[in-house]
A and B are shown apart, each in its own frame.
Chain A
Amino acid sequence: DGGITQSPKYLFRKEGQNVTLSCEQNLNHDAMYWYRQDPGQGLRLIYYSQIVNDFQKGDIAEGYSVSREKKESFPLTVTSAQKNPTAFYLCASTSQAGGSYEQYFGPGTRLTVT
């Protein structure tokens, strides 16, 4: 089955530690995205990547980093510089071909930092 996988589903970390969230897709999509979801605020874009080895900051990139070494993978690192890291993180992807613009979402990772 094609889709987007995110692991783990739940992640707990101590304050001051960096943590990396995994996102893998087997849809052969070119573009991948990371969003953060907080209650009552909808989803906000952290980073996105349209091709391998290239990525751009979204609206709330401070305290986060990403890499795109493979088309299938777009891991997100939440660094100790992120002031409020506890949130639900969603990865998405889209094909850039044929005018298809809808994004497909993974199941999400809930990160709790104490």
Chain B
Amino acid sequence: AQSVTQPDIHITVSEGASLELRCNYSYGATPYLFWYVQSPGQGLQLLLKYFSGDTLVQGIKGFEAEFKRSQSSFNLRKPSVHWSDAAEYFCAVGILEYGNKLVFGAGTILRVKS
């Protein structure tokens, strides 16, 4: 069965520090991978996506993610965190054979210390 694991439920970083959020997936075929961000009480906004090609993908708000097939990982990174980055982050894998449904991880809540 397809699944996504985000090992860190909460992460706290200082403003200006670097950030890495971990994501591991389980899926038999070539994955379509996404990172979404959610502010409290809001919908989800797409940060970036990986479909194929270059394994390092750039997204909005200065985020990037690297796909590593050998590790089944798709970690999200940002070199310098801003206070406005505080939110919940979700990693997801797209399952094309089931209507392109998304299977989500449980999310990582990011807190930024000033």
| A interface list, Cβ under 8 A from B | 4, 31, 33, 35, 40-45, 48, 50, 56, 58, 90, 92, 94, 96, 99, 101-108, 110
Task: Contact check, B90 vs A42: say whether CB atoms are below 8 A apart.
Answer: yes
Contacts of A104 in B (CB 8 A): 46
Number of interface residues of B (CB under 8 A): 27
Task: Contact check, B100 vs A107: say whether CB atoms are below 8 A apart.
Answer: no
Task: Contact check, A56 vs B44: say whether CB atoms are below 8 A apart.
Answer: no
Task: Contact check, A106 vs B43: say whether CB atoms are below 8 A apart.
Answer: yes
Question: Which residue of B9, B36, B99 is within 8 Å of A56 (Cβ)?
Answer: B99
Q: Interface residues of B: mostly helix, strand, loop or mixed? A: strand
A33-B101, A101-B96, A103-B102 as given contacts; A90 in contact with B44, CB under 8 Å? yes
Q: How far is the CB of B24 from chain A (nearest CB, A)?
A: 14
Selected A-B contacts with CB under 8 Å, 12 pairs: A33-B101, A40-B9, A40-B107, A43-B44, A43-B102, A45-B103, A90-B44, A99-B51, A101-B49, A105-B36, A105-B44, A110-B41
B92-108 vs A, Cβ < 8 Å mask (1 yes, 0 no): 10101011111111110
Interface residues of B in 68-114 (CB under 8 A from A): 90, 92, 94, 96, 98-107
Q: How far is the CB of A42 from chain B (nearest CB, A)?
A: 4
Task: Contact check, A31 vs B106: say whether CB atoms are below 8 A apart.
Answer: no
Q: How far is the CB of B9 from chain A (nearest CB, A)?
A: 7
Closest A residue, CB atoms, query B105 = A42
The answer, yes or no, to whether B32 is at the interface (CB within 8 Å) is: yes
CA distance A101 to B4 in the complex (A): 18
Q: How far is the CB of A60 from chain B (nearest CB, A)?
A: 12
Task: Contact check, A96 vs B90: say whether CB atoms are below 8 A apart.
Answer: no
B30-72 vs A, Cβ < 8 Å mask (1 yes, 0 no): 0010101000011111100101000000000000000000000
A42-B104, A48-B101, A50-B99 as given contacts; A102 in contact with B41, CB under 8 Å? no
Contacts of B98 in A (CB 8 A): 56
Extra inter-chain contacts (13) besides given A31-B100, A43-B90, A101-B49, CB under 8 Å: A44-B104, A45-B101, A50-B99, A56-B98, A90-B44, A92-B102, A94-B100, A102-B34, A103-B100, A104-B46, A105-B44, A107-B42, A110-B41
